Amino acid sequence: MSSRDDILGRVRAGLQRNAGNAAAGREIMQAAMASRSEGPKPAMDTTPAALLERFRLKSELQSSTVEVVAQESDAPAAIARYLAAMKLPTTAVVQPALAALDWAAAGLKVEARGARDADLVGITGCFCAVAETGTLMMCSSPDTPAAVSLLPETHVAVVRAARILPYMEDAWNLARAELGTLPRAVNFISGPSRTGDIEQTIVLGAHGPYRVHLVIVEG
């Protein structure tokens, strides 16, 4: 007998599986899949201004830094100012999805591609953001490679204010509506990577970025 049959056989024996309770079990399963019922969620003011404010506040609590700009074309200059103020390199890898912005005019030297170990600054967009916890939702694709938000020591993300949703549940519904199926990797990111493994002391910059800067585009 295969291990699969052996394991499932013992699970079925434990549940005293028979035709009747199997049909009932399948009904429960189908109902769960059809209803996609949600659990209790913390109350939240869901007006656009309140969502932006909550997202900013929660992001800052996760040790991200935040700047708000009026439109997407303002993002390159804002990022250049941030990198200069932090004395960080002005060379960056950018997700191909953002390649069309005028980076050169802002004095940045960017390459639109997947990330490499040597990259020090990674610039990404995001699929959407979650106000409840101050979280970015990244969906991988050829235009939005996952490692750009992971390998570099600095991660800068451009977030459109209209894509800030109240809850993670809303993000799933948006993904279902716009993408159909889930991409290979959905990464929810909440601030720079960290560890507390030595004496429960939180240190920023474990294996991923040391700092995350968010540029929120209002228009």
87 binds another protein (CB under 8 A): no
183 binds another protein (CB under 8 A): yes
- Binders of another protein among residues 29 to 48 (CB under 8 A) are 29, 32-33, 36-43
| The one segment of 48-56, 79-87, 120-128, 192-200 that binds another protein by CB under 8 A | 192-200
Pairing of strands 109-112, 91-94: parallel
DSSP state of 73: G
Using CB under 8 A, pick the residue from 19, 85, 87, 199 that binds another protein.
199
179 binds another protein (CB under 8 A): no
Q: Which of 169, 218 has the CB closer to another protein?
A: 169
Q: Smallest gap, in angstroms, from Cβ of residue 219 to another protein?
A: 28
Q: Smallest gap, in angstroms, from Cβ of residue 191 to another protein?
A: 6
Using CB under 8 A, pick the residue from 101, 150, 158, 216 that binds another protein.
150
Which of 191-194's residues contact partners 24+ apart within 8 Å by CB, and which partners?
Answer: 191/59, 191/62, 191/63, 191/64, 191/134, 192/63, 192/64, 192/155, 194/63
Inter-CA distances, 193 with 9, 106, 158, 181, 208, Å: 43, 28, 18, 28, 5
- Which residues 6+ apart lie within 8 Å of 18 measured at CB? none
